[in-house]
Structure 1
C-alpha cells in the first residue's frame, strides 16, 4: 500500500512539473485569481471594517514585543556604559601610574623606588614595559567596548523611533477606520432615504419589488392603449352619446341611387 502511495505521489509530482508553465496552468491561475477577487468583493463593508479593527488590535502584540526588546536594550546599554566608564577610569589611573614610574626610572641612580619596593633599574624597566603592554591590550578592549556601546545606542534609538512610529500609525489607522465606519453609516442612511437602494437589505428588496410592480402596472396600462389600434377595433359608444336618432338611422333612410344610363353620341340615328 505504501509503495502504491509513493508511486502516485511521484506521478502527481511529475504531472505538475509537466504542466508547469503551460496554458492550462495559466488558465487555472487566472480562474483562481478571478474567484479570489470575486470573493473579496462580495465581503460586506461592515465585515471588512470589523476585520480591520481586529488587525489593528493585533498591533498591540507587536507593540508589547517591541517594548520588551526596547526595555532590555535600554538596561543593557546602561550596564555597558557603566562598564566602559570604569574601563576609561582604570586606563586613566594606569596611565598615570606608568608615567610616574617612567619618571622615577629616569631619575633613579642605582635603584628605583616603586611604592614601598626598591628594585634595580633593569627590573623597573622590565615591569614598566609589561605595564605598557597591558595598558595597550586594555586600550584595545576599551576601544572595542566603546564601539559596541555606540552601536547599541544606535540600536536603542532605532527601537525607540520604531515604537513611536508604530504607536502613531496605530492611532492614525484607528482614526481612519472610525472615519470609514462613520461614512458607511451615513451611506446606509442615505441608501434608506433614497428610492434607489444599492445594498442588500430587506428595505432595498421591498423598494426594488415595488418598483418592479409599478413597471408591470405601467406595462398593462400601455397594452390597454395599444390593443384596439392593433386589432383594428373602434371603441364602442354608448346609446346616450352625442349622435341623434336621425343621425344613427341616416344610413337606412337615405334614398337609393338610380343606376345611370349611358348614351353613345357617336351611334347613328335610325329612322
Structure 2
C-alpha cells in the first residue's frame, strides 16, 4: 500500500513538473486554485475548533519546557569549554610570541654575523632566519585562530543570554497567550450567544404563525364535520319527513281504507 502511495505521489509530482515545463500559465493557474482552496478550508474552520487547537498548542509548549532546559544546558557547557580553550590558546600564543621576539632580537644584534646564538647554540644565520619565518607564521596562525574563537565566544554569549531571557519569561509568555486566548474564546462565546438568542426569537415567531394557521384550519375542519353531522341527522332518518301536501278528505279516507291505487302498504281489514 505504501509503495502505491509513493508511486502515485511521484506520478503527481512528475505531472506537475511536466505541466509547468509545457504550460507555465496552467501551472500558475493550478497554484492559484491550490491557494484558493487552502484559504477556503482555513476560513471554513469554526472559531471553536481553532480555539481548541490553540489550547492544545499551548499545552504542548508547556510540556516542551524541560527540552529547552537541555538545550540551554548544552549551550552553557559548550560556552564554558570554549572559554577554557581561549584561555589556553592565549597562554600558548604568548609563548609563540616570546620565541619570535627572541629570534628577532638575536638576528637584530649583529646583522652581519654569519652565526646566531639560539638557546645556547650557534646556528647558521640562514637557519635562524628560516626558524624565525616559521615561528612568525605559526604565531600569526595562532593569533587568527584565537581571534576567531573570541568572535565565536561573543556570538555564543549573546545567544546564551537571549536563551536565558526566554527561559525567564517563558512561563509569563505562556500565561499571556493563555489570557489572550481566553479573551478571544469569551468574545466568540458572547457573539454565539447573541446570534443564538436572535435566531430563537425569530424561529419562535415563525412557529407561532404556523401554529395559528394550523388552528384556523382545524376550526374549519371542525365546522365541516359539524355541518356534515347535521346533514346526516336531518336527511338519513328512518322515517323521513315528507313535505306536507294539501289533500282532500276523500283521499285521506281512501288511504285509510287502503283503496288508493298504487299504494304498496297492506290493505286494512274491512269492518263488519
CA deviations 1:123-158 (Å, max 9, x no partner) are 352343233112211222122212212321232123
Contact map agreement 2:116 2:125 (CA 8 A) in 1 = no
Equivalent position of 2:146 in the other structure: 146
Contact map agreement 2:16 2:27 (CA 8 A) in 1 = no
- The CA distance in 2 between the partners of 1:114 and 1:53, in whole Å, is 70
- The CA distance in 1 between the partners of 2:27 and 2:39, in whole Å, is 16
Q: How does 1:1-271 map to 2 (within 5 A)?
A: 9=11, 13=15, 17=19, 20-21=26-27, 26-27=32-33, 29-39=35-45, 41-44=46-49, 46-57=51-62, 60=65, 63-64=68-69, 66-68=71-73, 70-99=75-104, 101-102=106-107, 116-117=120-121, 119=122, 123-164=123-164, 166-167=166-167, 170-183=170-183, 191=190, 197-198=193-194, 212-213=203-204, 216-217=207-208
- The CA distance in 1 between the partners of 2:96 and 2:102, in whole Å, is 10
Consecutive unaligned residues in structure 1, runs of 5 or more? 225-271
- The CA distance in 2 between the partners of 1:15 and 1:84, in whole Å, is 54
TM-score normalised by length of structure 1: 0.52
Contact map agreement 1:91 1:139 (CA 8 A) in 2 = yes
Contact map agreement 1:197 1:208 (CA 8 A) in 2 = no
Alpha carbons of structure 1 residues 105 and 127: separation in structure 2 relative to 1, 3 Å: farther
Equivalent residues, number:
204
Shift of 1:222: 11
Contact map agreement 2:75 2:160 (CA 8 A) in 1 = yes
Contact map agreement 2:104 2:132 (CA 8 A) in 1 = no
Alpha carbons of structure 1 residues 153 and 216: separation in structure 2 relative to 1, 3 Å: same
Contact map agreement 1:95 1:135 (CA 8 A) in 2 = yes
Consecutive unaligned residues in structure 2, runs of 5 or more? 216-272
